[in-house]
Amino acid sequence: MKQKLAPEFTPVVDAIEVHLIGKRKAITLTLAAYFAGGHVLLEDIPGVGKTTLAKSFSQVLGLDFGRIQFTSDLLPSDILGVSYYSQKESLFVLKKGPVFTQFLLADEINRSMPKTQSALLEAMEEHSVTIDGTSHPLPEPFFVIATQNPHEEVGTFPLPHSQLDRFLCSFGIGYPDRESERLVLSGERGEASFGSVLLGGQRIEALMDQVRSVRMSDAMLDYLQDVIAFTRESGLFDYGLSTRGALALTAMLKSWAMLHGRDYAVPDDLQAVVASVCSHRLRFREGVTNAGRIEDALLSHTRPDA
**pLDDT tens profile 39-75:** 999 887 777 777 888 888 888 888 888 899 988 888 8
Given a cut of 60, whether residue 196 has pLDDT beyond it is: no
Q: Binning pLDDT at 50, 70 and 90, where does residue 191 land?
A: low
pLDDT-derived band at 195 (thresholds 50, 70, 90) equals very low
Helical segments of the chain, H only: 10-17, 24-35, 50-61, 76-80, 114-117, 121-126, 161-164, 178-186, 202-212, 218-233, 243-259, 267-278, 291-300
Which of the residue ranges 24-38, 137-151, 239-253, 255-269 would you say has the lowest mean pLDDT?
Answer: 137-151
What SS3 state is found at 269? Answer: helix
* pTM of the shown model: 0.87
pLDDT of residue 117: 83
pLDDT over threshold 50, residue 194: no
192, pLDDT greater than 60: no
Inform me whether the pLDDT recorded for 157 exceeds 60.
yes
Q: What percentage of the chain has pLDDT greater than the value 90?
A: 31
- pLDDT, mean of residues 259-265: 95
**Model confidence band, residue 135 (pLDDT cutoffs 50, 70, 90):** confident
Mean pLDDT of 139-168: 81
Domain spans of the chain, in order of start: 10-186, 213-300
10-186, CATH topology level = Rossmann fold (3.40.50)
Residues contacting residue 177 through CB under 8 Å, at least 6 positions apart: 22
CATH superfamily, region 213-300: Magnesium chelatase subunit I, C-Terminal domain (1.10.8.80)
Banded pLDDT at 252 (limits 50, 70, 90)? very high
- pLDDT on residue 190: 54
